[in-house]
Amino acid sequence: MDSTADDRPRPARDARVPGGVVVTASAVAAAVGAGELVAAVVAPGSSPFGAVGDAVVRLAPPWAVEFGKSLTVPGLAAGVADKLALQLGIAGLLLAAAVIGGLGARRRPVIGAVVVGLLGVLGLAAAATSPVFRPPQLLAPAAALGVGLATLGWLNRRGRPPEGGPKPGGAKPGGPKPGGAGWRGVRRRTLLRWSAGVGLAAAGTAVAGPASVRAVVGADAFGRLFGSRADPAARALAARLAAARPATPIPPGADFAAAGTPPFLTPNPDFYRIDTALRVPALSATDWSLRVHGMVERELRLDYRQLLARPLVDRPITLTCVSNEVNGPLISTAVFTGVELAPLLREAGPRPGADQLLSTSVDGWTAGTPMDVLLEPGRGALLAVAMNGEPLPAEHGYPARMVVPGLYGFVSATKWLTDLELTTFADRRAYWLDRGWARAAPIKTQSRIDRPRGFQVIPAGPLTAAGIAWAQPHGIAGVEVRLDDGPWRPATLSAEVGGHTWRMWRADLGVAPGSHFISCRATDRRGLRQPAEPAPPIPDGAQGWPVINFTAR
């Protein structure tokens, strides 16, 4: 047996691989952190990370957007998981790009610089092509690009051994690499310390940047920058809401929460959220204004105080998203407080032929609402400034948004509202109309089963099934329930609040041991019954009878 076999030298492991990846990843992290900090100071909400995410939303095909809306995460309000998934996806792509750049840099260090540079240029392009681009929004991605390249160069220089001298880590030229040398001869432990320091500093900058700005400039100034509750205008609205007459009380028995339905009013943190904004726009009511123009006799411009000087009304309204699947969660109810929209439009004087109100958000998103619906007597469209007795939360449109009962949100519920243009559907195409969705989007008569839950195992015997039904703005006249293939039986309805809101139902049943399914269907005040034929949400809302499978034991 050849005893010298074990003494043969083994090929050295290429220690440059982990070093190159760590160095490039650290440079990318530093770039992201710098972009977040500069955005917090100069142009809140315009970080390159957020700008890239907004660009993805703008360019994504409708099927991808719908898939994102269908995502749910326990503990998060409906409609939030898609944004979390997109942010995680972008972070994953950044990491993948850093790994690719690091692997390439093991042979040609310039490849790492090329990858960091391309990512920086991508951030600049995303900011520059935003529908609401302003020159200051280029500062954050430019800073990210500069810091990323500078960090990469610094780490590379620290890892380069002196010409003809001993290599970092104690190794002599041509000699062994004690302690496991890494990138360009630097001890891997040293390299990790440098990179960890850069990574921690970057993460701290990204997370604590806005908090640091708050500490430096003060809470009120921060509120003016970020549209937070520190905004003096928001405090003035809160004081006025407290002094004004209370909202019309919700009658007793308006929900069957004890039987499994949601409460009649959805708490603000639980209200579903659907929009295309990856980052919540940061607006100050102090600087906010609304322009009403287009096919009008008199152009109007209102600031926040002028808006609040008009009569405020309270109105309980159920909002429904067109992306809501049958039996889905994208529906909520709140008491909205705001200014009647129809009198404001009449004051501007619509010209003959104006059939569309094109509303625009601060982030460039648009919705087209039929003018005949807005001016319809009793429709009650609002420019809402408050929700459940509080100023609008930032994620729900602060300082002002549109709320139009009876229409799906993509044609009626513009958040962060800044512009109203009276025009025609032939001349202007709104965001989703350009993507193949319907022009007219009246809410369909629908119902949902909240109890029992899908595939739930329950005791055999008495069962109280419960759920909700809606048909804004007409209201619900009845709900029927069927167990398995048995007869339809009428459900008990909750007290009616109005045609603009949902209505709860419950039905007492008896179930034998085994597998079962339960169905329901609603009838609105016009006598129209919820159709059985299934239809997908796009282009104008889902339809079909909800069915829940469960097991009794």
HEC profile of 458-483: ECCEEEEEEEEEECCCCCEEEEEEEE
- Token readout for 331 is 């529906």
Contact 500, 380 (CB under 8 A): yes
Give the C-alpha separation, 553 to 530, whole Å. 32
Element (H, E) at 511: strand 503-511
β-strand 489-490 against 476-483: which pairing, if any?
antiparallel
pLDDT at 205: 56
- Which residues touch 175 (CB under 8 Å, ≥6 apart)? none
Cα 212 to chain centroid, rounded: 25
Contact 346, 297 (CB under 8 A): no
- Quote the Cα angle for 482-484-485, to 5°: 85
Cα 251 to chain centroid, rounded: 33
Residue with tokens 């002002």: 400
Give the C-alpha separation, 526 to 378, whole Å. 16
pLDDT at 249: 86
pLDDT at 94: 79
Burial of 176 (C-beta count, 10 Å sphere; 0-12/13-18/19+): exposed
Contact 222, 213 (CB under 8 A): yes
The 8-class DSSP code of residue 187 comes to B
CB atoms within 10 A of CB 539: 17
Residue with tokens 């749910």: 72
- Tell me which residue of 406, 130, 445, 119 sits closest to 279, measured CA to CA: 130
Give the C-alpha separation, 387 to 449, whole Å. 26
Give the C-alpha separation, 398 to 238, whole Å. 13
- Which residues touch 161 (CB under 8 Å, ≥6 apart)? 167, 168, 184, 185
- Tell me which residue of 148, 147, 145 sits closest to 120, measured CA to CA: 145
pLDDT at 333: 98
Give the C-alpha separation, 278 to 51, whole Å. 8
Kindly report the pTM of this predicted structure: 0.71
HEC profile of 334-350: EEEEEEEHHHHHHHHCE
Give the C-alpha separation, 40 to 211, whole Å. 9
Element (H, E) at 293: strand 289-294
350 φ/ψ angles, rounded to the nearest 5 degrees? -60, 135
- Token readout for 274 is 């659907």
245 φ/ψ angles, rounded to the nearest 5 degrees? -65, 145
* Ranges under pLDDT 50 in the chain: 1-6, 9-17, 162-183, 185-186, 210-229
- Token readout for 22 is 């760590």
Give the C-alpha separation, 215 to 40, whole Å. 12
Give the C-alpha separation, 380 to 369, whole Å. 14
Check the CA dihedral 33-35-36-41 and report its sign. Answer: positive
Contact 80, 112 (CB under 8 A): no
